[in-house]
Chains A and B, each alone.
Chain A
Amino acid sequence: MNETLLGAYVFFLAIIVGFQVVSRVPSMLHTPLMSGTNAIHGVVLISGILVAGQATNTATRILGCVAVLLGSLNVFGGFVVTNRMLEMFHAAPDKRS
């Protein structure tokens, strides 16, 4: 099968899964949801790593590293801040069990 077509299958199925999964998230957690998904799309850092890693000239190497920098800001910042928020949520003491 054509690779782009295969990608399209993956894309649309993932969108359906995304809608299903995200619509179960209570509005209480919408901010962590947003910052968490934010961290997840930081996976684009991979494209920066690939470009910089396969670079054969300095310009590409530098620009690739800029992409890596932006992407890692996104990934690390996103997961850390989400974790920080989620650690604050707790139930009334005896309901925790």
Chain B
Amino acid sequence: MNWPVGIAYLLASLTFIAGLRMLSSPVSARNGNRVAAAGMAVALVATFFLPGMKTGNFWFIFVAMAVGAGLGSGSALRVKMTAMPQMVAIFNGMGGGAAALGSVLEYVHKTPQSSQVMAVGLSAAIGAVSFTGSLIAFAKLQEIIQGNAHKWRWAQVLSGVLGLAIVALIVVLMTGSTSGDTGTLVLVGLTALALILGIVLVTPIGGADMPVVIALMNSMTGVAVALAGFVLSNELLIVAGALVGASGTLLTVLMGRAMNRPLTNVLFGGFGAVSVAGGMELPVGATVRETSADDAATLMCYSQRVVIVPGYGLAVAQAQHQVRELADLLLERGVQVKFAIHPVAGRMPGHMNVLLAEADVPYDLVYEMEAINGEFPSTDIVLVVGANDITNPGARDDPHSEIYGMPILNVDYARQVIVLKRSMRPGFAGIDNPLYYDPKTAMLFGDARASLQKLVTSVKSVAKPRTSRRSDEGRNLQETHRS
């Protein structure tokens, strides 16, 4: 590697780290992304100046890059925020595929030294698993194929066999007994097996677990890229891949913790494959109390503290803007309004925050689970919109519940709970929610968007209180919000 290019790569590595560092605050995050993108641009341009590059090939590369850039940015600009998990999944798959293909081609191009052969094999295998795994995750999220979970014992066995076969082939490749064409054949063979492994691994996993799968695939692509860096003796790829690998691993662990499930359980548990058998201990004769939009609106208008718990149902109903309008109206009346976000609300980590941001909800009204869970006992009303399992008290109290141990938002500690729900159908995990049978819970049935619209209309018609019933805190927030 020549000097100027090496320095460009070093610069790019530093911008990646700086960019991620700037993501620690929403204020600097935007520039962080731009810094990293600028570093990327420098590195890409520099690559063309490496020795051995044939200018005759450049036009082909430019065309491929232009097509990729066009398609990538085009879909990135058009994608709906609700479809973000699919988008991340498919981009991630592209990266994995590029890593695998790059490593295989590099092996064919110039048979690398023995210490690099393991990196070639691993990079190809992990990249390939990430490629097909991400594509399956994309297809499931996009509902091109069924999102259901399956408890397929044979799939687990097959995954094991494929994994062992891939490892064995990598060992064969490393022994050096195969080189040239035979080596290429072995490498292509193990890559093909890895492509199948990706499909077998992800297909049985249910849609509810996709946040974990996407985070895992992200980290796998990162590792594949780092390994490709070893193959090419390119430190930039090693740094970038390691950063992403670390980030993906951290998010995978966080998601697993938020769902109270170890990774092995996500990958091989077939969670939600069977509808819940037993464990539901609803009081005999438990009934559900229904309320009207007018009653619910009046209750909220005359309370001091309201917490809104949005779930993915909100996004499905495209009701983010209605919920923001409702929050604005309540804030104007001096009611303190906060949003509570569970780490797995939505379809990927942080998804709900993006959806609320899209609807212009200021991020300082949005609270994480740990930050708000202590506040529920002093909350007058919790409004649950399109969220289910993350509010299920069974996860906290009922050892027989299938989701027992999963941290939840303790909405049942609030004085009253209003749940907006389409019907009594169980949630994504297929588990009934005792919250709905709690005497202090009132259900407002209907499409989330329509119900919120009704609430907005009703709140507008509720006479504003003349005397100051407002809490000081509420008034402060209101002023904050208005100015």
Q: Scoring B residues 224 to 258 as 1 if CB is less than 8 Å from chain A, else 0, what string do you get?
A: 11101111111111111111111110110010000
Q: Which residues of A contact B103 (CB under 8 A)?
A: 47
Q: Are B237 and A47 in contact (CB under 8 A)?
A: yes
Nearest-CB distance from A75 to chain B (Å)? 6
A43 → chain B, closest Cβ, in Å?
4
> A24-54 interface mask toward B, CB cutoff 8 Å, 1 = contact, 0 = none?
1111111111111111111111111111111
Q: Are A29 and B353 in contact (CB-based, < 8 A)?
A: yes
Top 9 closest pairs, chain A to chain B, by CB: A18-B246, A72-B68, A77-B72, A30-B350, A47-B102, A14-B242, A30-B349, A81-B76, A31-B350
Q: How far is the CA of A72 from the CA of B28 in the complex (A)?
A: 25
Cβ contact within 8 Å between A19 and B250: yes
* B61 / chain A contacts, CB cutoff of 8 Å: 49, 52-53, 64-65, 68
- Name the B residues within 8 Å of A50 (CB-CB): 47, 50, 53, 102, 106, 232
Question: Can you list 27 A-B contacts (CB < 8 A)?
Answer: A7-B229, A7-B235, A10-B242, A12-B242, A18-B20, A19-B250, A22-B243, A22-B247, A26-B368, A32-B23, A35-B88, A37-B20, A37-B222, A38-B218, A40-B20, A40-B240, A44-B237, A44-B240, A45-B98, A50-B53, A60-B109, A73-B94, A74-B94, A77-B72, A85-B81, A86-B33, A90-B360
Is B384 on the interface with A (CB-CB < 8 A)? no
**B95 an interface residue at 8 Å Cβ cutoff?**
yes
Question: B286: CB under 8 A from chain A?
Answer: no
The bracket for how many chain B residues form the interface is 35 or more
Residues of A within 8 Å of B23, CB to CB, are: 25, 29, 32-33, 36
Q: Which residues from chain A sit less than 8 Å from chain B, CB to CB?
A: 2-4, 7, 10-12, 14-19, 21-56, 60-61, 63-95
Asked, given contacts A32-B354, A47-B106, A80-B77, whether A68 binds B33 with beta carbons under 8 Å apart, the answer is no
A89 to chain B, nearest CB (A): 4
